[in-house]
Amino acid sequence: MSNELVKYDPELNTIPLRKFTPIEMNLFFSIVSRMRDQGNKTVRFSFDQLKELSNYKPTANKRFIDDIENTYQKILSLRFGRRSKSGLNREFFVMFTEFEIKGEAEEPYVDIQIYPKALHLLNDLESWVRYALTEFRNLKSSYAKTMFRLIKQFRTTGYSYFSKEDFFELLDIPKSYWNSPSNVDKKVIKPIREELTPLFRGLTIRKKYGKGRGKPVIGYSFTWEP
């Protein structure tokens, strides 16, 4: 499993993973890694396989089933959709339609099927985000996990910039941190810097300041050796 790759359309990186725990992120991207190029067929994951892929620490199957279900409930809340330029045409869809957990089977498993309108996220990719599942799942902080995915999207340029609004949205940072730069530094930037510096050579995180009273932070830039 050590060389398992996660690969998907960059659009998936634009969807904030609201309230996902690190365990749920590991489960979600383990599923994504194995659903790639499977079309719309139902893919079966044995519990053992899914635990190994996601590096799930051994606990009773009941707890594992709860964690899978919680992951799916959060996947259902992800906002995939399109809007025409005029704004008059809009569509919304979920990523997976079938998610069947069979914990009573002799060898317990989960059956998962992708929704037809989401096929482009994992199939016949023209551009993509790609990284090793082991690197992703070994990160502890959900902020570091999200930033890892976003940086991997720009891995060949060595630079990415996020407005404060996008940064808070994509990383699902509590609104209470909006006017508290010290909280952002301590709870968000610090784990990102500590966990990602070994993975991205020369990683530097800078704040961009706006004009006006107190020079408010208006964005964050990340640079590294491409």
Say which residues have a Cβ less than 8 Å from residue 133's Cβ, sequence separation at least 6: 1, 4, 5, 6, 29, 30, 33, 53
As a whole number, the mean pLDDT across the chain is 94
**How far apart are alpha carbons 116 and 151 in whole angstroms?**
28
Structure tokens at 70: 């919680």
Q: Would the pLDDT of 166 be above 90?
A: yes
- Does the pLDDT value for residue 177 go beyond 70? yes
Give the pTM. Answer: 0.91
Task: Tell whether 129 is covered by a domain.
Answer: no
Q: What is the pLDDT, as a whole number, of residue 79?
A: 79
Residue 1 has pLDDT above 70, yes or no: no
**Which among 90, 121, 152 is the end of a domain?**
121
120-161 pLDDT per residue, tens? 999 999 999 999 999 999 999 999 999 999 999 999 999 999
Range with the poorest average pLDDT among 18-27, 83-92, 159-168, 209-218 = 83-92
Per-residue model confidence as pLDDT tens digits over 36-71: 999 999 999 999 999 999 999 877 889 999 999 999
Same domain, 73 and 165: no
In a domain, 133, yes or no: no
Same domain, 48 and 112: yes
Are 95 and 143 contained in the same domain? no
Domain containing 186: what range? 139-223
Whether 9 is covered by a domain: the verdict is yes
Q: Say if residue 117 is in the same domain as residue 181.
A: no
Contact 98, 42 (CB under 8 A): yes
Each residue of 67-83: pLDDT tens digit? 999 999 999 888 788 78
Same domain, 13 and 117: yes
Which amino acid is it at 77?
A: S
Residue 2 reports pLDDT greater than 70: no
Number of domains comprising the chain: 2
Q: Which amino acid is at 135?
A: E
